[in-house]
Amino acid sequence: MAEIQVDVQARRFQERIDAEVRIEPKDWMPDAYRKTLIRQISQHAHSEIIGMQPEGGWITRAPSLRRKLILLSKVQDEGGHGLYLYSAAETLGASRASMIDALHSGRAKYSSIFNYPALTWADIGAIGWLVDSAAIVNQVPLQRCSFGPYARAMVRICKEESFHQRQGYEIMYTLATGSADQKAMAQDALNRWWWPSLMMFGPSDADSAHSSQSMAWKIKRFSNDELRQKFIDQAVPQADILGLEVPDTELAWDEQTQHYRYGAIDWDEFNRVVRGDGPCNRQRLAEHKRVHEAGAWVREAVVAYDRKHQDQSDV
């Protein structure tokens, strides 16, 4: 009897998904739907928080007070994005401690892009321009994700990402139209961040383990390759305006498809970085662990305060 009931619930669930009815935390959902959402949302949150490191390291080295204020604001936004996303994952029953433990133990991932070093000030421009553009291309469709809390978190996050992208592109424009050395610094940053930005969209559709199910459940609205292509089609003209060259000798506009054809992505590099052997993987995780431990007293104080005031209100 119980099996038939679950089948009926699963069929009703898919009918709601197909009818574009938002799924809320208290609604019945297949365990696998819950599990893949906790996986994706928590890894999205980890990415936001770890992503604060490469940019945070440049706040004290920003070339002007204005740039420092903008970068401070952006890094603070990323921290807030992480907290929204952890909260969205918690509505599915995942605890913050278990998600952080999964990150620290290596069971959970974060975006490969944040395992590359930010070597010069131009990297801060390239990250804002390319990485945040890629994030926007990936996150705008997530505003229509079937799971309510995730979709709603994306609405605010996407608004803030557009400021992130614009400040990055402004840095690149300033450098690309500055001295020859500044333009060379901008080109060097584009050379190092272009291909890792394409890898942000995940493996090719043929190698994507989750895409077909995530698209059937309307978590994902477009495939990895569709979003990657959308990003390339918008970023190449932006590079042209900067007078910078995209580091892909096979890049060419295809009149027939109305898309850019592009060269082969180095999937060995992608898999190496995702496996933990990227330029900064160990440093990023060690820093997250260090700061998490250093902040334990804050979490303990908040819990003690809550407990004390809870007891008082129970009196």
Which residues in this chain contact ligand 3HC in the complex, by CB under 6 A? 39-40, 43-44, 47-48, 51, 78, 81, 109, 111-112, 131-132, 135, 138, 161, 199-203, 208-211, 214, 224, 274
As measured in angstroms, the least distance from the Cβ of 77 to ligand 3HC is 8
User: In whole angstroms, how close is the CB of 5 to ligand 3HC at the nearest point?
Assistant: 29
CA 284, CA 132: separation in Å to the nearest integer? Answer: 19
**Of 45 and 175, which has the nearer Cβ to ligand 3HC?**
45
Residue 76 or 95: the one with the smaller Cβ distance to ligand 3HC is: 76
**For residues 182 and 234, which CB has a smaller minimum distance to ligand 3HC in the complex?**
234
The C-alpha atoms of residue 37 and residue 218 are separated, in whole angstroms, by 11
Q: Give 56 or 203: the residue with its C-beta nearer to ligand 3HC.
A: 203
Q: How far apart are CA 228 and CA 190, in angstroms?
A: 17
204: nearest Cα among 178, 230, 184, 223: 223
How far apart are CB 21 and ligand 3HC at their closest, in Å? 22
CA 12 → CA 21, 28, 161, 220, distances in Å? 11, 10, 36, 20
Select 159 or 299, whichever has its Cβ closest to ligand 3HC. Answer: 159
Dist. CA 126–CA 249, nearest whole Å? 20
Q: Minimum CB separation from ligand 3HC for residue 196, in Å?
A: 9
Least distance from C-beta 161 to ligand 3HC, angstroms? 6
CA end-to-end distance (rounded Å), the chain: 47
Could you give the C-alpha distances from 85 to 27, 151, 210, 232, 314, in angstroms and in order? 19, 10, 20, 27, 32
- Could you give the C-alpha distances from 277 to 63, 71, 108, 274, 280, in angstroms and in order? 32, 28, 15, 7, 8
- 48, 85 contact by CB (below 8 A): yes
**Would you put residue 263 in left (φ > 0), alpha (ψ -120 to 50) or beta?**
beta
Q: Which is nearer to ligand 3HC, 115 or 183 (CB)?
A: 115
Q: How far is the CB of 70 from ligand 3HC (least distance, A)?
A: 15
In 139-266, the DSSP E strands lie at 252-254, 259-261
Q: Which is nearer to ligand 3HC, 176 or 202 (CB)?
A: 202
CB of 99 to ligand 3HC, least distance (A): 13
Instruction: Spell out the alpha helix ranges (H) of 243-295.
Output: 267-272, 281-294
